[in-house]
Structure 1
């Protein structure tokens, strides 16, 4: 299904199937979706909402679209992440990383 067809489907309140969301994410990450199409799809998703299945499948395909990191199995219980959106007032990241590393955690 083409990107305009996916946009129309979501605009009209239909649920996007797993393979359609995979196709959409692949097109976005491959650079074949125009900015206006991406904006239209995001607006349709926002206005019409997403089912739990759509949200889960979109998240899955977005996560699988990039490089996946592998870690030493010995780090299984030592690996931590502090994620931030970089918003105003975020002053935790800078001191947190060395503090956790001092405790032996892999940051």
Structure 2
């Protein structure tokens, strides 16, 4: 039985008209990757969180928090994270768990 926490890339987007304030070289160098974190219990998946990873492809800066960016850039990163959705099958654990509870209540 597999048990543990896993991640899957659900979105990757280059921020348009945004400059990395560390290298200030050119626009469109910040790449935002959004990962879906989920708990795995055998064949059941339980999505519970998104993780963000921001990288400047010019200076190789890597950040896991949006707090180190200006407010305008933070808003654009939050938009990418908001648009990224967990895959539908990562909710299967909740559905299976609900059906088991429902069947046990009805059978009594």
TM-score (norm 2): 0.26
Question: So what's the TM-score if we normalise by structure 1?
Answer: 0.26
Which structure carries more helix by proportion?
1
